[in-house]
Amino acid sequence: MKEVVKTGGKLAVICAVAAIALGVVNAVTEPKIAAARAARLEEALSELSVGLNIGQYVESDNQNGINGYYPLSDAGNVDAYIVDVTGAGYAGDLGLLTTISLEGEVLAAALMEDSETPGLGKEAENASYMKMYIGTGKDSVIPSSKSHLNPADADAITGASITFVGIGKALNEAADFVGQIGGM
Amino acid sequence: MLKEFTKGLIKENPVFIIVLGLCPALGVSTKVINSLGMGAGVIFVLLGSNIFVSLLKDFIPDKVRIPAYIVIIASFVTIVEMVMEAFIPALYDSLGVFVPLIVVNCIILGRAEAFANKNTIKASILDALGMGIGFTLALILIALIREVFGLGTITLFPIGSFSGVIEIPGLVDSPVRVFGLAAGALLVMGFLKALFTWIEDIRRVK
């Protein structure tokens, strides 16, 4: 019994010291991490606003991955929405912000959070990756299958098809959502 | 004492000879910059865990040594993760899920169990540096081949006006994409493993 308490006590001491060390490092890094995330969100919203005024964030009921939205207006009229949507990626959730016009057209999109494979699915973080979705949704389908892409784009997503499909489906959900809350 | 450092570079290279840590080695080696970042993280964690395991080898009861090592290693990895996200966010975003996965990198637990808990702090530091640098060099070699052929580029850290990306004429426009994929990683690893085994065989015969 004494041996068990001694052994457990020593392990508890190691855990306690580790917890204190982590607490100290967290106290130092947490404000910087929070500030960097806020700056990244602000920068992304600025790019996604497509020159319109950004309204207050409205939380959604979280159905179909829709977390909430920002209305985008010009002279008091809502012209588009930035939709905060979560899709399913290869290695976890894909946190996306996408600007959808009232006609359901994808005007802009950015991948904000993901755990995709570096060099493959993670390439979706690059602004150039989203070009294959932008402009779709009004007169053409938002691509969520390789068959919707031209051969060059289909070749570019080789090795990361699950990420591509996950983003495509999330953007389709966002476009449907905009149709429900005030789109045409 | 110096052999504790040099053995990890080629003779007991953790990736090509001992064949440890292959998941992150193959996962992040799509770009040279990812290999440098992962290598730096592994060196730091390996150094920290080896020092503390060696320091506490008489304090840690034998029955709970593995949980104790895991607490030490996980703490260092979490510190690396938090510091990287706070001060090098671009690298943190680039390495993604592979940073927390350093916890289960066999090299780190392997060196704690096989070396640090039996040797002095000085020898453990040299072992950690040798193994860590050997792991990093292996990752860089795999990434260099995969990125040059698979993407036609060499991606390093941006410095001043240098964007960090070197484009290889002829390959950047028509890369051999399989090198960037999982199959390419296994192929490159297989050929490099054969090369290192051959080099070791020659050294042994001499």
pLDDT tens across B130-156, in order?
999 999 999 999 999 999 999 899 988
Cβ contacts of B96 on chain A, cutoff 8 Å: 91, 114-118, 122
- A11: closest CA of chain B, how far (Å): 6
Q: For residue B81, tell me if it sits in a domain.
A: yes
Alpha-carbon distance of A134 to A109, in angstroms, equals: 7
- pLDDT string in tens for chain A (184-residue length): 788 899 999 999 999 999 999 999 999 999 999 998 898 899 999 999 988 999 999 998 778 899 999 999 988 888 999 999 999 988 789 999 999 999 999 999 999 988 787 667 878 888 888 888 999 988 888 988 878 887 777 777 777 889 999 999 999 999 999 998 875 5
Which residues form the domain of B39? 3-145
Mutation site, B71, B95, B101, interface A, largest A CB count within 10 A? B71
Q: Does this model's pTM top 0.80? A: no
Cα B137 from chain centre: 8
In the structure encoding, which two tokens stand for residue A29, read together?
């890094």
- With residue A80 as reference, give the H or E element that holds it: strand A77-88
Q: What is the pLDDT of residue A82?
A: 95
Q: Do residue B98 and residue A118 have CB atoms under 8 angstroms apart?
A: yes
Total count of domains within chain B = 1
In chain B, what percentage of residues exceed pLDDT 70? Answer: 98
Q: For residue B152, tell me if it sits in a domain.
A: no
Q: Do residue A25 and residue B83 have CB atoms under 8 angstroms apart?
A: yes
Q: Report whether A50 contacts A73 (CB < 8 A).
A: no
Of B34 and B143, the structure prediction assigns the larger pLDDT to B143
Q: For residue B31, tell me if it sits in a domain.
A: yes
Q: What is the pLDDT of residue A90?
A: 87
Q: For residue B194, tell me if it sits in a domain.
A: no
Angle at B38 between CA B125 and CA B132, to 5 degrees: 25
Q: Do residue A91 and residue B31 have CB atoms under 8 angstroms apart?
A: no
Q: Do residue B27 and residue A11 have CB atoms under 8 angstroms apart?
A: no
Q: For residue B175, tell me if it sits in a domain.
A: no
In the structure encoding, which two tokens stand for residue A148, read together?
């919707």
Q: Which of A11, A17, A21 is nearest to B69 (CA)?
A: A11
Q: What is the pLDDT of residue B96?
A: 65
Q: For residue B79, tell me if it sits in a domain.
A: yes
Per-residue pLDDT for B157 more than 60?
yes
pLDDT tens across B42-93, in order?
998 899 999 999 999 999 999 999 999 999 999 999 998 999 889 888 778 7
DSSP 8-state class, residue A183: -
Q: What are phi and psi of A154, to 5 degrees?
A: -65, -35
Q: Report whether A176 contacts A144 (CB < 8 A).
A: no
Q: What is the pLDDT of residue B56?
A: 92
Alpha-carbon distance of A41 to A35, in angstroms, equals: 10
Q: For residue B83, tell me if it sits in a domain.
A: yes
In the structure encoding, which two tokens stand for residue B143, read together?
């990434």
Q: For residue B187, tell me if it sits in a domain.
A: no
pLDDT tens across B81-124, in order?
999 889 888 778 766 667 887 888 889 999 999 999 999 999 99
Task: Identify the closest residue of chain A to B77 by CA–CA distance.
Answer: A22
Q: What are phi and psi of A138, to 5 degrees?
A: -95, -60
Pairing of strands A53-54, A66-74: antiparallel
Q: What is the pLDDT of residue A58?
A: 92
Q: What is the pLDDT of residue A125?
A: 84
- A10: closest CA of chain B, how far (Å): 7
DSSP 8-state class, residue B165: E
Cβ contacts of A14 on chain B, cutoff 8 Å: 56, 60, 68, 71-72
Cβ contacts of A120 on chain B, cutoff 8 Å: 30, 180-181
Q: Do residue B61 and residue A7 have CB atoms under 8 angstroms apart?
A: yes
Alpha-carbon distance of B130 to B122, in angstroms, equals: 12
Q: CA dist B134 to A70, B10, B74, B147, Å? A: 50, 7, 22, 20
Task: Identify the closest residue of chain A to B87 by CA–CA distance.
Answer: A32
Cα A124 from chain centre: 10
